[in-house]
């Protein structure tokens, strides 16, 4: 007999196609990842509005990861004045790490070093000064005499050292910078941008955090010599750990600041403020905007 009268039992099938199930799973994972990312973003990690009465002609504010929080004319080349010394000192710390000389090594000050153009710590010809003392004099007092003494340990001449500075600038990605001296004297072929200064400041802190051992101190005494920080914010605002001041006739009043509050940090670059007082006041205002209040 035939089986025409026998009915086959159909197997139940899901109405959901495999592709849709996979898509739904992917969406769930993406939503979870987004929620996690939003959960770890700090509320202050955002863009801030520069003060309306800002007098600096160039400004850059970076968070600790290098993210831009504010910028004004950040890619315009300007005379960096003594902010130049951050690169000079970056290379000096490189030499220390390489064992080229030590903090205890001494330099006998020459007449040329003692009379170097620009701001001076006050070294005297014939004076024997340690590398550690020279670092303090360069970082806190912005002494061009101290810089020239340090350069004498690193290179045969300032010209040779400047060649190294320009090579280092290229390696560090300072695309809008060029140097003609190691101290920051005004010159047509000596310039930096606020963006490059922000990059340099980050590299200095990350590669040579020992720089902060000096720049974060309002005053230092080393081997009988006393040093006083030209950055008024150091000591006045506990968040501020330095970095460098700079002033020249063409460059104006400049300031690069590194600050930290808890686990968060920022870098502020101000170029060509209208006065020494304003560069500190404007930086203080920006710090309060970044961290959401006074320190």
CATH number at residue 263: 3.40.710.10
Query: Among 191, 184, 105, which residue's Cα sits nearest to residue 149?
Result: 105
For residues 279 and 256, the answer to whether their CB atoms sit within 8 Å is no
The verdict on residue 16 lying in a domain is no
**Residue 292: which pLDDT band, with cuts at 50, 70 and 90?**
confident
Averaged over 219-248, what is the pLDDT? 98
Residues 189 and 183: their CA atoms lie apart, in Å, by: 14
Show the DSSP H helices in the chain as ranges: 18-40, 85-98, 111-114, 131-139, 144-154, 158-172, 194-207, 211-215, 276-291
Query: Among 249, 270, 259, which residue's Cα sits nearest to residue 194?
Result: 270
**Residue 9: which pLDDT band, with cuts at 50, 70 and 90?**
very low
- Count of domains for the chain: 1
Side-chain-side CA neighbours of residue 67 (13 Å): 14
The pLDDT tens digits of the residues spanning 63-98 come to 999 999 999 999 999 999 999 999 999 999 999 999
For residues 253 and 272, the answer to whether their CB atoms sit within 8 Å is yes
Catalytic residues: 82, 85, 142
CB-based contacts of 228-234 (< 8 A; 24+ apart in sequence)? 228/140, 228/141, 229/140, 229/141, 230/140, 230/141, 230/142, 231/255, 231/257, 231/280, 232/280, 233/257, 233/280, 233/283, 233/284
Residues whose CB is less than 8 angstroms from the CB of residue 74 and which lie 6 or more positions away in sequence, other chains included: 58, 59, 60, 68, 193, 194, 195, 198, 269
pLDDT value at position 77? 98
The verdict on residue 36 lying in a domain is no
Residue with token string 């920051």:
184
**Residue 121: which pLDDT band, with cuts at 50, 70 and 90?**
very high
CB-based contacts of 171-175 (< 8 A; 24+ apart in sequence)? 172/199, 172/200, 172/203, 173/199, 174/87, 174/199, 174/200
**Neighbouring-strand partners of residue 108:** 128
Averaged over 111-138, what is the pLDDT? 98
Residues 156 and 118: their CA atoms lie apart, in Å, by: 21
Residues 254 and 245: their CA atoms lie apart, in Å, by: 6
The verdict on residue 235 lying in a domain is yes
Within 10 angstroms of residue 193's Cβ, the number of other Cβ atoms is: 23
The verdict on residue 39 lying in a domain is no
Residues 142 and 234: their CA atoms lie apart, in Å, by: 14
What is the extent of the structural domain holding 194? Answer: 55-291
Residues 285 and 233: their CA atoms lie apart, in Å, by: 12
The verdict on residue 61 lying in a domain is yes
The pLDDT tens digits of the residues spanning 170-217 come to 999 999 999 999 999 999 999 999 999 999 999 999 999 999 999 999
Compute the mean pLDDT over every residue in the chain, rounded to the nearest whole number.
90
Q: Are strands 58-63 and 240-248 parallel, antiparallel or unpaired?
A: unpaired
Give, as one character, the DSSP assignment of residue 16: S
- The alpha carbon of residue 38 and the mean position of all alpha carbons in its chain are separated, in whole angstroms, by 27
**Neighbouring-strand partners of residue 266:** 63, 259
């Amino acid at each position: 007999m035939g089986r025409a009268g026998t009915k086959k039992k159909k197997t139940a099938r899901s109405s959901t196609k495999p592709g849709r199930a996979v898509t739904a799973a992917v969406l769930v994972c993406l939503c979870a990842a987004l929620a996690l990312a939003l959960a770890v973003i700090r509320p202050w990690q955002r863009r801030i509005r520069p003060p309306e009465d800002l007098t600096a002609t160039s400004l850059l504010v970076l968070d600790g990861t290098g993210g831009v929080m504010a910028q004004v004319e950040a890619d315009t080349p300007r005379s960096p004045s003594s902010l130049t010394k951050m690169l000079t000192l970056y290379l000096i710390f490189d030499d220390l790490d390489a064992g080229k000389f030590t903090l205890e090594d001494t330099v006998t000050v020459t007449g040329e070093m003692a009379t170097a153009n620009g701001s001076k710590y006050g070294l005297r010809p014939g004076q024997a000064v340690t590398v550690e003392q020279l670092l303090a004099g360069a970082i806190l007092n912005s002494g061009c005499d101290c810089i020239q003494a340090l350069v004498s340990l690193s290179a045969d001449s300032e010209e040779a050292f400047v060649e190294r500075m320009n090579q280092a600038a290229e390696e560090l990605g300072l695309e809008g910078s060029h140097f003609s001296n190691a101290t920051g004297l005004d010159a047509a072929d000596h310039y930096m941008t606020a963006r490059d200064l922000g990059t340099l400041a980050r590299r200095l802190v990350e590669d040579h955090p020992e720089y902060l051992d000096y720049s974060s101190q309002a005053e230092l005494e080393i081997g009988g010599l006393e040093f006083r920080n030209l950055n008024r914010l150091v000591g006045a605002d506990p968040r501020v750990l330095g970095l460098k001041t700079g002033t020249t006739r063409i460059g104006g009043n400049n300031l690069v600041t590194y600050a930290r509050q808890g686990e968060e940090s920022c870098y502020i670059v101000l170029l060509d403020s209208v006065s020494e007082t304003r560069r500190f006041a404007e930086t203080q205002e920006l710090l309060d905007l970044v961290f959401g209040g006074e320190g």
